[in-house]
Amino acid sequence: MRKFKDLLLFFAVIVFVISFLYFFTFTSFGYGNWVFVIFNIVCFSLFFLLTGFRKKMTRLPNSVYVAFIVALFAEMYGFPLTMYLFMGVFGLGKVYSLEFLLTNVMGQSLFYNVFHYYIFPASKVVMGVGITLVIYGWKEIYQAKGKLVTTGLYARIRHPQYVGFLLITLGLNIQWLTIITFALWPILALLYYRLTKTEDSEVESKFGDEFREYKQHVPAFFPRLNKSQSETNTNSK
């Protein structure tokens, strides 16, 4: 019964975060608004308070994450680099982000409807799930007090926070895809993948057989549909 309540609470938090993102963030864009650029960069960088940013091995992927956030919001509300490149190189006007290339195929009116009713909500869903994973992942690690975490989110995937960061940036790309963020996202995914390998080695050296058994049953990024054997073993002890 408690697990069911925890699951309901988890999905309720996801719905709340998605609703907040949908109703209290902007679909519009504008240029030269550097105060708004800084505000968004600070807000999306605050998640590092919930991760081990000071650890040396996390600095490179987390720095690329910050570079991604800076590049995206600098173009969305500051300087439209993507638009100027398409105007100068291809002679295309009003390509504010890469999604706007679809106006040449769909027409401007249909594209704006698709963007507003489908692309924008989809981006908020992906970002909302990512934000919730980061918050819940931090909560479970904090409550563990240095012990190996094998329950909750960690009974489904070993690295929910890194999955969360990738979903946040993926959602931002869905909403506003620029040349720079298009190039940075695969690099970010590769860096977080390499980071998980390093972290797994460190945790294995600390917890030994306990972690090896956990790793055998719980995937790193993509949860299995069936109940995690790791959670079953942990709860039976």
Closest C-alpha among 192, 170, 165 to residue 125:
170
Residue 21 to residues 2, 81, 144: CA-CA distances in angstroms? Answer: 29, 25, 30
Q: What is the DSSP string of 176-234?
A: S--HHHHHHHHHHHHHHHHHHHHHHHHHHHHHTHHHHHHHHHS-SSS--SSPPHHHHHH
Q: Could you give the maximum distance between any two Cα atoms of the chain, in Å?
A: 67
* Residue 27 confidence (pLDDT): 53
Asked whether 18 and 54 are in contact (CB, 8 A), the reply is: no
- Separation of alpha carbons 102 and 17, rounded Å: 29
pLDDT at residue 231 in the model = 45
The model's pTM is: 0.86
d(CA 102, CA 204): 48
Nearest Cα neighbor of 124 from 12, 19, 9 is: 19
Domain boundaries, the chain: 2-235
Query: Does domain 2-235 sit in CATH 1.20.1690?
Result: no
Instruction: Calculate ∠ Cα 229-3-213, nearest 5°.
Output: 20
In whole angstroms, give the CA distance from residue 158 to residue 224: 12
Joined tokens for residue 160: 């929910």
What is residue 85's predicted lDDT score, i.e. its pLDDT? 87
Question: What does the pLDDT read at residue 234?
Answer: 43
Per-residue pLDDT 10s for the chain (237 aa) are: 677 787 888 889 999 999 888 876 655 667 788 888 898 898 888 876 666 555 677 778 888 999 999 999 999 888 888 888 888 888 877 788 888 888 888 888 999 899 889 999 999 999 999 999 999 998 898 888 889 999 999 999 999 999 999 999 999 999 999 999 999 999 999 999 999 999 999 999 999 999 999 999 999 999 887 654 444 444 434
What torsion do the CA atoms of 161, 163, 169, 170 make, to the nearest 10 degrees?
-160
Q: What residue spans of the chain are helical by DSSP H?
A: 2-24, 34-45, 59-77, 81-90, 103-106, 108-114, 120-144, 160-175, 179-207, 209-217, 229-235
